[in-house]
Amino acid sequence: MASSPPAVPVLDRTAVDRWRRAWDEVMAGFLPGAASFEHVLPAVVEAVCGGAPRRILDLGGGPGVFAERMAGRWPGAEVAMMDLDPVLLALAGAGADGRVRVHRGDLTSSWCGEVGPDGPYDLLTIVMTIHYLTPGRALALYRAARSVLRPGGLLIVADLMPEAGLDRVTGSLPPAAGLAWERWWDEVRADGALRQLLDERRAVFAGRVPAEFTPPADWHRSAALRSGFEQAGVVWRWGAHAALAAIA
């Protein structure tokens, strides 16, 4: 269920910046070729949107670093992000200098109510997050995304999407990235400033197991078309990782 962001403790700005920078390095392990993805993205977005997007929403936006970069790329845009994790939401709120509106919501629930009033959106992004969802939830996400996009708006889904027919071993999340993820969380825990939010995080994620659902890109394309998108196709690939663009 969607709700307001948690009360944010006063955080040391240097530490927030350090954690957010380090997060980017961790994510580069999860999304090999991330720089190439972000290089390709603006041309795709501007071609579909007919220029800079005006309203942008990043789903599963973590500490908001990707959303902040989009705000930098398109300074006239209203940029929002949504996530479930109280710690990451606090870092997003403290770090993005008010350039990104931060929403708390759960992609396995009715999240459109939380972000809908800021829409309809020109651009929705979901980066390395859809694999947390079961097949049914992932399909529901395509339907919900379609409903908050304006006609002609664009959804970008970037994740592990092996080519159909490739050995599924090539489609596993990189183990080194998992270790870097654990190290990042250990450092945040060691600081102590976020203790209360870390407790809250534990409660939020108790009993939740990432589905690790990483079907081929064809599955995503078909899910988008079944959900009412007019067109869908892969616009970026880096090994087993890819980005699907779907036009509403």
Ligand X SMILES: C[S@@+](CC[C@H](N)C(=O)[O-])C[C@H]1O[C@@H](n2cnc3c(N)ncnc32)[C@H](O)[C@@H]1O
Q: If binding is defined by CB under 6 A, does position 19 make contact with ligand X?
A: no
Structure tokens at 142: 């395509």
**Residue from 30, 37, 74, 121 that binds ligand X (CB under 6 A)?**
30
**Residue from 11, 41, 45, 84 that binds ligand X (CB under 6 A)?**
84
How many other β-carbons are positioned within 10 Å of the β-carbon of residue 1?
11
Q: If binding is defined by CB under 6 A, does position 57 make contact with ligand X?
A: no
CB of 165: closest distance to ligand X in angstroms? 26
Task: Please give the Cα distance from 219 to 135 (Å, whole number).
Answer: 10
CB of 69: closest distance to ligand X in angstroms? 10
**Residue from 61, 153, 171, 215 that binds ligand X (CB under 6 A)?**
61
Q: If binding is defined by CB under 6 A, does position 127 make contact with ligand X?
A: yes
Q: What is the DSSP letter of 177?
A: H
Q: Write 112-116 long-range contacts (CB < 8 A, 24+).
A: 112/144, 112/147, 112/148, 113/2, 114/2, 114/3, 114/82, 115/2, 115/57, 115/80, 115/82, 115/148, 116/148
> Which residue is listed with tokens 């049914």?
136
Q: If binding is defined by CB under 6 A, does position 94 make contact with ligand X?
A: no
Strand stretches in the chain, DSSP E: 55-59, 78-83, 100-104, 121-127, 149-160, 231-238, 241-247
**Residue from 19, 66, 142, 229 that binds ligand X (CB under 6 A)?**
66
Task: Please give the Cα distance from 233 to 243 (Å, whole number).
Answer: 8
**Residue from 28, 52, 73, 106 that binds ligand X (CB under 6 A)?**
106
CB nearer to ligand X: pick between 25 and 230: 25
**Residue from 132, 142, 229, 236 that binds ligand X (CB under 6 A)?**
132
Total number of residues that touch ligand X (CB under 6 A): 18
CB of 50: closest distance to ligand X in angstroms? 26
CB nearer to ligand X: pick between 8 and 225: 8
Q: If binding is defined by CB under 6 A, does position 214 make contact with ligand X?
A: no
Stretch that binds ligand X, among 43-51, 71-79, 122-130, 213-221 (CB under 6 A): 122-130
CB nearer to ligand X: pick between 213 and 219: 213
Task: Please give the Cα distance from 222 to 234 (Å, whole number).
Answer: 12
Task: Please give the Cα distance from 61 to 68 (Å, whole number).
Answer: 10
Sequence letter at residue 59 = L
Interface residues toward ligand X, by CB under 6 A = 27, 30, 60-62, 65-66, 83-85, 88, 106-108, 127-129, 132
